[in-house]
Amino acid sequence: MRVGWLDGRGVVPSPQEFDWIESFFRDQYPATLPTPFIYPTAEGGFQLEWRTGNQDVSLEIFPKEKTAELHGLNIQDEGDTFMELNLEAKADVDSLIDFISKAAKGEV
């Protein structure tokens, strides 16, 4: 990726931020859960998306702050979930993993 990758305005994450996101998922994300689609964001972050039986889930990660925002939409009942997460806090990481696990099973 190059600076300006998105019509001249896309920010590229630093090598350290790429390393951090890789190690975060290697160390924190269970291999038994669905693999997300991963996209860069114009602001230099990462957008992850999961499609499960009844959920569309997106997670926007802000690597400089090591935070994220999760949005989940139940496409059957239109229930909406929003979480602000500190990805350095075990309780928040556990909440993220729990939600993805339940979404994969159709429980949310």
Q: Which band of pLDDT confidence, cut at 50, 70 and 90, is reported for residue 3?
A: low
**Strand-pair partners of 62:** 67
Mean residue pLDDT across the chain:
90
Q: 85-100 burial, b if ≥16 CB within 10 A, otherwise e?
A: bebeeeebbeebeebb
Q: What is the pLDDT of residues 39-67, one digit of tens each?
A: 888 888 999 999 987 889 999 999 999 99
Q: What is the pLDDT of residues 6-34, one digit of tens each?
A: 666 777 778 899 999 999 999 999 999 99
Q: How high is the pLDDT of residue 46?
A: 92
Distance CA 82, CA 91 (A): 16
With 0-12 / 13-18 / 19 or more C-beta atoms within 10 angstroms meaning exposed / middle / buried, residue 40 is middle
Distance CA 62, CA 75 (A): 26
Q: Torsion angle of alpha carbons 101, 23, 5, 60, nearest 10°?
A: 30
Q: What is the pLDDT of residues 66-94, one digit of tens each?
A: 999 999 999 888 889 999 999 999 999 99
Q: How high is the pLDDT of residue 11?
A: 73
